[in-house]
C-alpha cells in the first residue's frame, strides 16, 4: 500500500473512532436496563483499556522518531507533555511504560517487549493501565540474578491474576512473590540496590505540606541512623519547647530528661524535627559554594503588607511557600546558611537594577530580583523553579542587549537552548504596558507551532494569574451567551408584536 493509502487508512480509523465516541456521548442510557447498562460499561471499559495500549504505541513511536530533538526539548516525555498538554507525571509514565511493554528496536530489528505477556493482556483490554503499572513495579523489584524461567513464571502469574482480579491485590501478591523468590534478601546485589535508590519530593499541597517518599541504600541508612539516634531522641530538637536541647555539641542530660517528659511528638514528627535541626546546625554555606552564580542559601520573597501584618505567605526560589511567621523563624535560626529576603511593594515589583557596566553576567542583586518576581523558568508550560534556571538576555548580549533588569529573564537550560534564530527557534520579548501582564517575559513559539506569533507568558509559577484569566474567560463567555439570548428574545418579542 502506498504511503498515501496508509494515511487514508489511519485517518479513516480516527474518524470512525470519533464518530463512535460521538454516538456514545449522544446516546440515551436511561432506557437501558441495569444489566444492559452494566454490559455497556464493561464493553466500553475494555475498549478504553485497548486505547491505553495504543497510547503505549504512540509513546514508543515518539521515542523512535526522536521528536523531542526535532523541537529542541530534553526528552520524549517533555515532547508529549507539550504536544498533548499532559501532566509531567502522565507523560513520563507513558514513556516509562512504553520501555517495558512497547515493541523494542535494536539495530533496525524489532524485538518483543520486555514483558510480552503483560503487553498482550493490555492490548486485549483485560486489565487497566493501573494494574499494568503495578505489575511492572513488582517485576522491576525482582533481583537481577533471578533466572529467566522464574521471571517468566512471575510475569505469567501476575498477569493471569490481574486479568480477572483487582488492581489493589497486585501489590500484596507481588510482595508474596518476592518473598518466595528471595526470602532472605541474599539474591539482591549492590547493583539491584543502586537501581532502586531514590528520594522524591512531591508537589507542595495547598496546606503547605510536601509528601516525601523513596528508598535509600544501606550506605545512606548507615549515615542517617546515628543522626536520628541523637537528634530524634525524645526531648531533642522540639520546636514547640523553647527549652528543648538543640545543639551539635554535648547535651545537658538533666535538661534532656526534663524535655523528654514534656515531649508529646510521634516518632515520625521527631524524625522530621531532627532533620530540620541537623540542616540548620550542620550546613556551612562557605563549604557549599555557589549555584548558578548565587551562594547556596534560602531566597525568600514576601510583600511589605504581609510583613507589617505578620500574616500571609513567603515564597522560596524553588516554588515552595511558608507562612510569614515560619519565614521569620527560618531567617532568625539559620546560623550558617545564607538567607536572602526580597520584600516587594504593592505592585509586586522590586527595586530597579541598572546594567552592570562591561559585564555580561547578571549581578547577584539582579538575580535575586528576578527570583522574587518570576519565580522560575518563564517559558510557557515549564515548571523549573528559580533554583534550576539561568539568567537569559531577552535581547541577546551579542546583539547589543543590556544587562539591565528589564532585559533579563529566567530560563532553564533546556528552554534556553530553544531561543535561536531561524524558523525553528523561539523568541522572547518583554511585554509592554498595554499587555495584560506588563513587564513579564513573553515567549513566541516557532511558526509551525503558533502561526499567529502571539507572545505567551508562563503561569506555572503564578497560579493566581491562571485562575484570574480562567475566571475572566468564563465571565466573557457567559456575557456573550447572555447577549445572544437577549438578542434572540428581542427578535422574538418584535416578531410577536408585529403579529
Does position 417 have pLDDT exceeding 70, yes or no?
yes
Kindly indicate the confidence band of residue 352, based on its pLDDT and cuts at 50, 70 and 90: very low
Q: Could you read off the pLDDT of 242-282 as tens digits, one per residue?
A: 899 887 778 888 999 999 999 999 999 999 999 988 887 76
CB-based contacts of 460, cutoff 8 Å, min separation 6: 376, 381, 382, 383
Q: What is the pTM of this model?
A: 0.57
Mean pLDDT of 32-39: 92
Q: What is the DSSP string of 58-124?
A: HHHHHHHHTHHHHHT-SSHHHHHHHHHT--HHHHHHHHHHHHHHSPEEETTEEE--SSHHHHHHHHH
Question: Strand 109-111 vs strand 104-106: parallel, antiparallel, or unpaired?
Answer: antiparallel
- Min mean pLDDT across 46-50, 53-57, 158-162, 286-290 is at 286-290
pLDDT-based confidence at residue 356 (cuts at 50, 70, 90): very low
Identify the pLDDT of residue 61: 93
pLDDT given at position 485: 80
Check if the beta carbon of residue 455 is closer than 8 Å to that of residue 378. no
Minimal CA–CA distance to 233: which of 214, 220, 218, 252?
Answer: 252
Q: How far apart are CA 61 and CA 356, in angstroms?
A: 48
Residue 295: its H or E element:
strand 294-295
The residues with which 444 forms a beta bridge, in sequence order, are 427
- pLDDT tier at 337, thresholds 50, 70, 90: very low
The set of residues, in sequence order, having a beta carbon less than 8 Å from that of 9 and lying 6+ positions away, is: 1
- Report the percent of the chain where pLDDT is more than 70: 79
CA distance 47 to 108: 31
Among the ranges given (13-17, 100-104, 168-172, 476-480), the one the predictor scored with the smallest mean pLDDT:
476-480
Is 260 or 499 the better-scoring residue by pLDDT? 260
Which residue would you say has higher pLDDT here, 370 or 429? Answer: 429
pLDDT value of position 2: 47
Q: Which pLDDT band holds residue 106 (cuts at 50, 70, 90)?
A: confident
- In this structure, are residues 392 and 416 in contact, taking their beta carbons and an 8 Å threshold? yes
- Tens of pLDDT, residue by residue over 455-495, are 998 888 776 665 555 556 667 777 888 888 888 777 777 77
Distance between first and last Cα of the chain: 64
* Winning range, highest mean pLDDT, from 7-21, 171-185, 394-408: 7-21
- For 181, the 3-state DSSP assignment is helix
Give the distance, in angstroms, between the CA of residue 146 and the centroid of all CA atoms in the same chain.
34
Question: What are 427's strand-pairing partners?
Answer: 444
State the pairing for strand pair 313-316/321-323.
Answer: antiparallel
Residue 22 confidence class, pLDDT cut points 50, 70, 90: very high
**Strand 297-303 vs strand 441-444: parallel, antiparallel, or unpaired?**
unpaired
Residue 302 has pLDDT above 90, yes or no: no
Q: What is the pLDDT of residues 59-92, one digit of tens each?
A: 999 999 999 988 888 899 999 998 898 988 899 9
pLDDT at 111: 85
Higher pLDDT, 335 or 103: 103
b/e string for 322-336 if b means 16 or more Cβ within 10 A? bebeebbebeeebee
| Whether residue 223 has pLDDT greater than 70 | yes
Checking if the pLDDT of 42 tops 90, the result is: yes
What confidence category does residue 45 fall into, taking pLDDT thresholds of 50, 70 and 90? very high
Q: What is the mean pLDDT of the chain?
A: 80
Tell which wins on pLDDT, 467 or 115: 115
Question: Is the pLDDT at 326 greater than 80, yes or no?
Answer: no
Say what the pLDDT of residue 41 is. Answer: 93
Runs of H (alpha helix) within 294-422: 304-309, 324-333, 364-374, 413-416
Distance of CA 7 to the CA centre of its chain: 35
Amino acid at each position: 500500500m502506498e504511503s498515501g493509502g496508509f494515511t487514508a487508512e489511519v485517518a479513516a480509523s480516527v474518524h470512525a473512532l470519533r464518530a463512535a465516541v460521538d454516538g456514545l456521548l449522544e446516546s440515551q442510557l436511561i432506557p437501558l436496563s441495569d444489566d444492559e447498562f452494566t454490559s455497556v460499561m464493561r464493553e466500553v471499559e475494555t475498549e478504553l483499556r485497548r486505547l491505553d495500549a495504543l497510547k503505549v504505541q504512540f509513546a514508543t513511536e515518539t521515542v523512535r522518531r526522536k521528536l523531542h530533538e526535532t523541537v529542541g526539548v530534553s526528552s520524549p516525555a517533555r515532547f508529549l507533555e507539550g504536544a498533548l498538554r499532559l501532566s509531567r507525571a502522565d507523560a513520563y509514565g507513558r514513556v516509562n511504560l512504553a520501555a517495558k511493554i512497547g515493541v523494542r528496536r535494536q539495530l533496525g530489528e524489532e524485538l518483543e517487549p520486555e514483558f510480552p505477556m503483560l503487553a498482550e493482556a493490555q492490548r486485549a483490554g483485560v486489565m487497566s493501565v493501573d494494574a499494568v503499572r503495578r505489575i511492572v513495579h513488582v517485576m522491576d523489584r525482582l533481583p537481577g540474578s533471578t533466572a529467566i524461567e522464574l521471571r517468566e513464571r512471575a510475569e505469567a502469574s501476575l498477569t493471569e491474576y490481574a486479568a480477572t482480579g483487582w488492581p489493589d491485590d497486585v501489590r500484596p501478591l507481588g510482595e508474596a512473590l518476592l518473598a518466595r523468590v528471595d526470602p532472605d534478601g541474599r539474591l539482591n546485589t549492590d547493583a539491584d540496590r543502586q537501581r532502586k535508590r531514590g528520594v522524591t519530593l512531591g508537589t507542595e499541597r495547598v496546606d503547605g505540606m510536601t509528601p516525601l517518599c523513596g528508598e535509600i541504600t544501606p550506605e545512606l541508612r548507615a549515615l542517617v541512623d546515628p543522626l536520628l539516634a541523637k537528634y530524634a531522641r525524645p526531648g531533642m530538637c522540639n520546636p514547640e519547647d523553647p527549652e528543648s536541647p538543640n545543639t551539635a555539641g554535648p547535651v545537658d542530660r538533666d535538661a534532656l530528661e526534663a524535655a523528654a517528659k514534656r515531649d508529646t511528638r510521634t516518632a515520625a514528627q521527631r524524625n522530621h524535627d531532627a532533620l530540620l535541626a541537623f540542616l540548620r546546625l550542620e550546613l556551612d554555606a562557605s563549604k557549599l559554594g555557589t549555584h548558578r552564580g548565587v551562594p547556596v542559601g534560602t531566597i525568600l520573597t514576601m510583600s511589605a503588607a504581609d510583613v507589617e501584618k505578620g500574616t500571609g505567605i513567603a515564597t522560596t526560589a524553588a516554588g515552595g511557600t511558608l507562612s510569614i511567621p515560619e519565614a521569620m523563624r527560618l531567617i532568625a535560626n539559620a546560623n550558617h546558611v545564607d538567607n536572602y529576603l526580597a520584600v516587594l511593594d504593592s505592585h509586586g515589583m522590586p527595586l530597579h537594577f541598572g546594567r552592570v557596566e562591561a559585564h555580561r553576567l547578571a549581578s547577584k542583586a539582579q538575580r535575586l530580583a528576578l527570583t522574587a518576581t518570576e519565580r522560575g523558568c518563564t517559558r510557557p508550560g515549564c515548571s523549573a523553579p528559580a533554583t534550576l534556571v539561568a539568567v537569559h538576555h531577552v535581547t541577546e548580549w551579542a546583539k547589543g542587549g543590556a544587562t539591565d533588569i528589564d532585559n533579563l529573564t529566567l530560563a532553564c537550560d533546556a528552554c534556553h537552548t530553544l531561543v535561536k534564530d531561524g524558523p525553528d527557534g523561539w523568541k522572547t520579548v518583554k511585554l509592554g504596558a498595554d499587555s495584560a501582564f506588563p513587564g513579564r517575559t513573553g515567549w513566541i513559539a516557532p511558526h509551525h507551532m503558533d502561526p499567529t506569533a502571539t507572545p505567551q507568558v508562563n503561569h506555572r509559577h503564578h497560579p493566581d494569574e491562571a485562575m484570574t484569566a480562567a475566571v475572566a474567560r468564563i465571565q466573557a463567555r457567559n456575557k456573550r451567551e447572555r447577549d445572544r439570548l437577549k438578542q434572540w428574545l428581542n427578535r422574538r418579542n418584535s416578531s410577536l408584536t408585529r403579529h
